[in-house]
Amino acid sequence: MVMMKKKPSQGRQKIPIAKIAKSSNLQVTFCKRRSGLFKKASELCTLCGVEIAIVVFSPANKPFSFGHPHVESVLDRFLGTPKSSIDSDFTSQQGQDYMSGSSVHELNMVFTQTQNHLEAEKKRGQELDEMSKAGQGSSRRCWWENPIDEMGLHELEMMKAAMKELKKNVIKQVNKISMIQSCAAINSQYHSLDEW
């Protein structure tokens, strides 16, 4: 062909190794690199005949995993050899046995409940992610307006502290106002402050 044609593509461009801002690009890059990573892992398995397990949580917190021969068998093996910590940042300790006297069934109940709580926490975490990503939209609530049911212990602890402080201030202010309006009738409603 005698026709000149401009480059139909810039081909592969170098990208800086830093958090990708553009959401669509991030999604594509994650997909490509995840499959590339899994491919590399499978090649490593075949070439060297080793066991491997990879677990990734996508930007949307969806779990992906690769394992040879199986994810769980490799993880079991790894978790069963705590000295693996010397090879990486994996630091672990064998904690005490919780509730050693309990029945397996009881443990299962507790475990299931804890897992459910965990699910709720994670879901809430995701929602918070979405919220902060969505920016200052009109739908934003103050954290204290979030459903109490979805709060964790730590948040409740913080709320308790905040409320105690608030109560102190409220009482102070009420007293101040009461002084100013030295009208006894109004104050009567606040005599039961200590019932809080």
Q: Which of residues 17-46 bind DNA (CB under 7 A)?
A: 25, 28-29, 32-33, 35-37, 39-40, 43
Give CA–CA dist 124/78, Å, rounded: 31
Give CA–CA dist 81/78, Å, rounded: 5
Give CA–CA dist 48/121, Å, rounded: 41
Q: How far is the CB of 50 from its own copies (least distance, A)?
A: 6
Give CA–CA dist 104/102, Å, rounded: 7
- Judged by CB under 8 A, the chain residues 58 through 87 that form the site for its own copies are 58-59, 62-67, 70-72, 74-75, 77-81, 84, 87
Q: How far is the CB of 161 from its own copies (least distance, A)?
A: 11
Contact with its own copies (CB under 8 A) among 89, 139, 188, 191: 89
Judged by beta carbon, residue 37 or residue 159, the one nearer DNA is 37
Neighbours of 45 (CB within 10 A): 16
Task: Work out whether 157 is an interface residue with its own copies (CB under 8 A).
Answer: yes
- Judged by CB under 7 A, the chain residues 137 through 176 that form the site for DNA are none
Interface with DNA (CB under 7 A), residue total 20
Q: Which two tokens stand for residue 175?
A: 């007293």
Q: From the list its own copies, DNA, none, pick the one residue 161 interacts with, judged by a Cβ distance below 5 to 8 Å according to partner type.
A: none
Task: Work out whether 15 is an interface residue with DNA (CB under 7 A).
Answer: yes
Read off the DSSP letter of residue 60.
T
CA nearest to 61, candidates 119, 137, 135? 119
Task: Work out whether 13 is an interface residue with DNA (CB under 7 A).
Answer: yes
Task: Work out whether 23 is an interface residue with its own copies (CB under 8 A).
Answer: no
Neighbours of 53 (CB within 10 A): 19
Give CA–CA dist 147/145, Å, rounded: 6
- Judged by CB under 8 A, the chain residues 98 through 127 that form the site for its own copies are 98-100, 102, 104-105, 107-115, 117-118, 121-126
- Report the b/e string of 144-155 with b at 16+ CB within 10 A: eeeeeeebeeee
Amino acid at 62: K
Candidates 1-9, 98-106, 158-166, 183-191; binding stretch for DNA (CB under 7 A): 1-9
Instruction: Write out the residues near DNA by the rule CB under 7 A.
Output: 7-15, 25, 28-29, 32-33, 35-37, 39-40, 43
